[in-house]
């Protein structure tokens, strides 16, 4: 409910409340800043006024993009409110309606969050059901919920630090053993102090995703999972392949997976048609392996192993991958089914070269996957 | 004093003028954000793709305010001791060694080794203790770790730094802070709330033309138009590394040194390396070069034959 305010400060405060409804996180501090900023500018001029509020109240690119439309909407509503007041004096009657719900919320908060507890148990049961569900059978309405679960899971897994220590140049805990060793040549006089810190598993990760139609959904969930891990890995490179191979690292940093795929198809890359794992991996080995692979890099391949391409080429490429990388993990959604045997020609070829063959078909399997990362 | 007088001079209308005088071409939103960040004395967080002149704003600001720029380049693994201060261990140890024979009490010795001479000031401490209000540039803050980000928050809100051995150092002048980010990682909401936010995108045709003409004075009028038109088309392609203004300027300078007054297909092909730095991009652009040039309105005579 927007009421007409006669003072400038009243208007600003109400505008901030309006923005808050639209998802802007604004506190009293921002309102004060906005008012303060108006004292430096000529707020008679509407464009300058708008520009100033925009500079002070927006916090991200998406908010900047939304702001102009919201600004317009607000002042239009204000004008309507003015008209309504002239026609009838019903405006004050609306005021009490807005108050009771907020008291209700306050009361429930004072009484120990009864409402919230019910909501939480409900959410938990959803979690339970969804985590066993195969990704391909998730109804469209639950996908957002699923993404949330995956994000929460990966954040928790990512926080685990190792109990071992590594040396560091930063000023951290002193490392007595290395300090003594270092200073032996100085006759045991402790001149240089060595430090250590808890070791983080800062691996580099290369993800190769099969994006043929049958794999699309699994890939989307896996990437969501991996990308929430972003801080844990020293470096994360992502490639998509079907008949040919393309780097989608930079696309993914700006968009989510679905949009990235769309951008790929805009560039006329062939996404439909059979999968040529051999050719794609060969492209990776010749073009990127020298730059990206070393003994601290893990290669994660997501594919169902159905291959219409060149088997000897696949064999040769996998051999190089295994030699150069620390570990090769093959994720196959089909491996989650009880009766699965890796009997497809493609899978038979790669089996000697991979360290782990793991399923990724539901949230529970993703949780197990974290053990390998 | 100097500082005080320049603060009084600055109003919204003349700040873009001042920026322009220093060779920075702005639009309204940039001028407004810089102006307000200056007046409210709040940090300014600038986001945007690489090479659109984020860092340049800080440099120009320093020139406008006639003060010095202190720069903190962020990188993965940057920690407080590199950003704030460090004790000069070696010097302390040597100093103690030299004092060994003298009859001083332990307290006295301790007092000398934890004094200003043994303190190495890193950019943040330097900015806080500077003799006039400096411009502090915290570059590429998205590259630093999350822990450093929260540490930064503390400094940005309190403007004081506590060194256990000496005590709390409060800022003599609150620096004008500019943070830049390439959006490789989302910054925390808390840091955003401390700052004013500004997003700089790739410039539109007119703005870029202005910039090219100002920065490359001897350039041919037609050539500069063609370059900017071509760059605008190039940015529509999905490239791995989209070229920024820096690349446009490099290219314009290169072509103007070669005394070229218009673009043609051969010329573009030969000098593409100035603009594109990734060979996948180069290959992609080479394949669609004729199309691109046509969209820009450049026709090669050879194509018509």
- Same domain for A364 and A230: yes
**Is the complex ipTM higher than 0.90?**
no
At residue B276's C-alpha, the angle toward residues B274 and B281, to 5°, is 155
Closest CA to A131 of A361, A353, A312, A313: A361
Residue A113 maps to a domain: no
pLDDT value at residue A296:
77
Are A249 and A242 within 8 A, CB to CB?
A: no
- Same domain for A318 and A207: yes
Q: Take residue B250 and report the two structure tokens written for it.
A: 């490099």
pLDDT value at residue B2:
43
pLDDT value at residue B4:
44
Answer yes or no: do B86 and A171 touch at CB < 8 A: yes
In angstroms, the CA A277 to CA A151 distance is 29
Residue A352 maps to a domain: yes
- Same domain for A234 and A189: no
B→A interface, C-beta within 8 Å: 12, 28-29, 32-33, 35-36, 39-40, 42, 47, 76-77, 79, 81-82, 86, 89-90, 93, 97, 145-146, 183-185, 189, 192-193, 196-199, 238, 240-241, 280, 284
Are A52 and A30 within 8 A, CB to CB?
A: no
Full domain range(s) for residue A243: 138-158+201-370
Are A297 and A206 within 8 A, CB to CB?
A: yes
pLDDT value at residue B13:
75
Do the bridges between strand A356-358 and strand B167-170 make them parallel or antiparallel, or are there none, so unpaired? unpaired
Answer yes or no: do B240 and A247 touch at CB < 8 A: yes
Cα B64 from chain centroid (whole Å): 16
DSSP state of B186: P
Q: Nearest-CA distance from A316 to chain B in Å? A: 24
- Same domain for A342 and A319: yes
Backbone torsions φ then ψ of A80, nearest 5 degrees: -65, -40
Number of domains observed in the structure of chain A: 3
- Same domain for A366 and A217: yes
pTM: 0.64
Query: 10 Å Cβ neighbour count for A173?
Result: 11
Q: What share of chain B is helix, strand, coil (3-state, %, to 5)?
A: 55, 10, 30
In angstroms, the CA B292 to CA A21 distance is 45
**Using 50, 70 and 90 to split pLDDT, how confident is the model at A100?**
very low
Q: CB-based contacts of A358: which residues, under 8 Å, 6+ apart? A: A329, A330, A331, A332, A335, A365, A368, A369, A372
- Same domain for A303 and A244: yes
**pLDDT reading at A121 higher than 80:** no
- Same domain for A189 and A60: no
Q: Take residue A352 and report the two structure tokens written for it.
A: 């000697």
Mean pLDDT (chain A, rounded): 73
Cα A39 from chain centroid (whole Å): 40
pLDDT value at residue B9:
59
Residue A1 maps to a domain: no
pLDDT value at residue B249:
92
* C-alpha radius of gyration, chain A, whole number: 29
Residue A2 maps to a domain: no
pLDDT value at residue B134:
93
* C-alpha radius of gyration, chain B, whole number: 25
Are A276 and A310 within 8 A, CB to CB?
A: yes
**List of E strands, chain A:** 165-168, 173-174, 195-198, 204-210, 235-241, 245-247, 297-302, 327-331, 356-358
- Same domain for A196 and A48: no
- Of B36, B82, B90, which has the smallest distance from its Cβ to A52's Cβ? B36
Which of B183, B196, B281 is best to mutate for the A interface (most A CBs within 10 A)? B196
Closest CA to A206 of A242, A243, A247: A247
In angstroms, the CA B4 to CA B9 distance is 9
* Residue A336, Cβ density class (10 Å: 0-12 exposed, 13-18 middle, ≥19 buried): middle
Q: Which of A52, A77, A102 is the last residue in one of the domains? A: A77
pLDDT value at residue A317:
87
pLDDT in tens, A264-319: 666 655 555 667 888 888 888 888 888 888 877 888 888 877 776 778 888 888 88
Tell me the β-bridge partners of A298.
Answer: A205, A327
Residue A95 maps to a domain: no
Q: Averaged over A222-228, what is the pLDDT?
A: 71
pLDDT value at residue A285:
87
Residue A241 maps to a domain: yes
Q: Nearest-CA distance from B36 to chain A in Å? A: 7
Q: Does A291 touch chain B (CB under 8 A)?
A: no
pLDDT value at residue A247:
82
Least confident of A87-101, A139-153, A343-357, B45-59: A87-101
Residue A12 maps to a domain: yes
pLDDT in tens, A159-208: 555 567 777 777 778 888 888 888 888 777 777 888 887 766 566 788 88
User: Mind listing the pLDDT tens digit of every residue in chain B (305 residues)?
Assistant: 344 444 455 677 778 888 888 878 878 888 889 889 988 889 999 998 888 888 888 988 888 888 999 999 998 778 877 888 888 888 888 888 888 888 778 888 888 888 888 888 899 999 999 999 999 999 999 888 878 888 888 888 888 888 888 888 898 889 999 999 987 777 888 888 889 999 988 888 988 998 898 888 888 888 899 999 999 988 888 777 889 898 999 999 999 888 888 888 888 888 888 889 888 888 888 888 888 888 877 765 554 44
- Of B12, B90, B185, which has the smallest distance from its Cβ to A191's Cβ? B90
* Measured CA distances, A299 to A239, A277, A302, A329, B245 (Å): 11, 15, 10, 6, 36
Measure the CA dihedral A211/A214/A220/A225, to 10°: -100
**pLDDT reading at A355 higher than 80:** yes
The CATH number of the domain where A279 resides is what?
3.40.50.410
Are B178 and B44 within 8 A, CB to CB?
A: yes
- Same domain for A348 and A252: yes
pLDDT in tens, A77-92: 887 776 655 544 443 4
- Same domain for A341 and A226: yes
- Of B90, B193, B238, which has the smallest distance from its Cβ to A266's Cβ? B238
Residue A151 maps to a domain: yes
Q: Nearest-CA distance from A357 to chain B in Å? A: 31
Are B109 and B96 within 8 A, CB to CB?
A: yes
Answer yes or no: do B192 and A59 touch at CB < 8 A: yes
- Same domain for A208 and A195: no
* Measured CA distances, A264 to A225, A242, A249, A303 (Å): 21, 12, 12, 19
Do the bridges between strand A165-168 and strand A195-198 make them parallel or antiparallel, or are there none, so unpaired? antiparallel
**pLDDT reading at A104 higher than 70:** no
- Of A27, A37, A253, which has the smallest distance from its Cβ to B184's Cβ? A253
Residue predicted with more confidence, B199 or A228: B199
- Same domain for A270 and A193: no
Query: 10 Å Cβ neighbour count for B199?
Result: 22
pLDDT value at residue A114:
42
């Amino acid at each position: 409910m927007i009421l007409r305010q006669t003072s400038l400060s009243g208007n600003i405060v109400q505008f901030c409340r309006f923005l808050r409804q639209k998802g802007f996180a604004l506190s009293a501090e921002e309102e004060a800043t906005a008012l303060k900023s108006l004292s430096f500018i000529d707020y008679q001029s509407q464009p300058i006024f708008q520009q100033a509020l925009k500079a002070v109240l927006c916090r991200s690119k998406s908010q900047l993009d939304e702001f102009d439309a919201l600004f317009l909407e607000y002042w239009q509503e204000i004008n309507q409110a003015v008209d309504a007041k002239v026609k009838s004096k019903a405006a004050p009657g609306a005021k009490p309606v807005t108050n009771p719900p907020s008291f209700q919320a306050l009361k429930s908060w004072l009484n120990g969050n009864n409402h919230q507890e019910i909501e939480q148990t409900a959410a938990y049961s959803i979690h339970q059901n969804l985590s066993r569900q195969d990704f391909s059978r998730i109804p469209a309405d639950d996908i957002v919920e699923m993404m949330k679960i995956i994000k929460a899971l990966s954040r928790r897994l990512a926080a685990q630090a190792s109990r071992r220590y590594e040396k560091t140049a930063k000023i951290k805990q002193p490392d007595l053993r290395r300090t003594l060793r270092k200073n032996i040549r100085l006759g045991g006089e402790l001149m240089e102090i060595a430090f250590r810190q808890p070791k983080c598993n800062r691996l580099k990760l290369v993800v190769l995703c099969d994006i043929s139609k049958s794999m699309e959904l699994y890939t989307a969930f896996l990437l969501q999972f991996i990308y929430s891990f972003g801080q844990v890995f020293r470096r994360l490179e992502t490639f998509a392949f079907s008949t040919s191979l393309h780097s989608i690292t930079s696309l993914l940093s700006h968009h989510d997976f679905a949009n990235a795929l769309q951008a790929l198809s805009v560039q006329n890359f062939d996404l439909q048609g059979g999968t040529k794992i051999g050719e794609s991996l060969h492209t990776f080995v010749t073009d990127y392996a020298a730059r990206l692979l070393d003994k601290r890099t893990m290669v994660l391949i997501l594919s169902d192993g159905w291959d219409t391409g060149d088997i000897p080429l696949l064999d040769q490429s996998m051999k190089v991958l295994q030699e150069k990388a620390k570990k090769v993990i093959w994720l196959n959604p089909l491996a989650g089914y009880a009766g699965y045997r890796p009997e497809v020609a493609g899978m038979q070829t790669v089996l000697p070269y991979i360290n782990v063959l793991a399923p990724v078909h539901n949230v529970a399997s993703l949780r197990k996957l974290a053990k390998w990362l | 004093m100097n500082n005080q007088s320049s603060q009084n001079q600055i109003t919204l209308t003349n700040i873009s003028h001042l920026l322009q005088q220093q060779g920075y071409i702005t639009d309204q939103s940039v001028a407004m954000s810089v102006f307000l960040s200056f007046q409210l004395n709040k940090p300014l967080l600038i986001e945007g793709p690489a090479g659109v002149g984020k860092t340049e704003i800080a440099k120009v600001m320093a020139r406008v305010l006639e003060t010095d720029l202190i720069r903190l380049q962020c990188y993965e693994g940057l920690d407080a001791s590199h950003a704030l201060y460090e004790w000069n261990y070696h010097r302390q140890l040597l100093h103690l060694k030299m004092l060994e024979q003298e009859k001083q009490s332990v307290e006295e010795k301790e007092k000398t080794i934890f004094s200003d001479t043994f303190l190495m000031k890193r950019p943040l401490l330097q900015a806080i203790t500077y003799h006039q209000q400096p411009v502090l540039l915290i570059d590429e803050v998205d590259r630093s770790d999350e822990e450093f980000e929260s540490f930064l928050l503390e400094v940005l809100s309190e403007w004081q730094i506590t060194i256990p051995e000496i005590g709390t150092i409060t800022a003599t002048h609150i620096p004008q802070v500019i943070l830049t980010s390439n959006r490789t990682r989302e910054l925390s909401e808390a840091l955003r709330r401390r700052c004013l936010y500004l997003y700089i995108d790739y410039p539109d045709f007119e703005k870029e033309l202005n910039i090219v003409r100002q920065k490359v004075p001897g350039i041919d009028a037609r050539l500069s138009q063609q370059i900017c038109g071509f760059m605008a088309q190039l940015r529509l392609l999905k490239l791995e590394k989209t070229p920024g203004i820096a690349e446009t300027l490099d290219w314009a300078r290169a072509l103007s040194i070669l005394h070229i007054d218009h673009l043609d297909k051969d010329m573009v092909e030969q000098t593409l390396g100035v603009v594109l730095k990734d060979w996948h991009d180069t290959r992609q652009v080479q394949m669609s070069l004729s199309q691109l040039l046509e969209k820009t309105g450049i026709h090669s005579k050879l194509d018509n034959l």
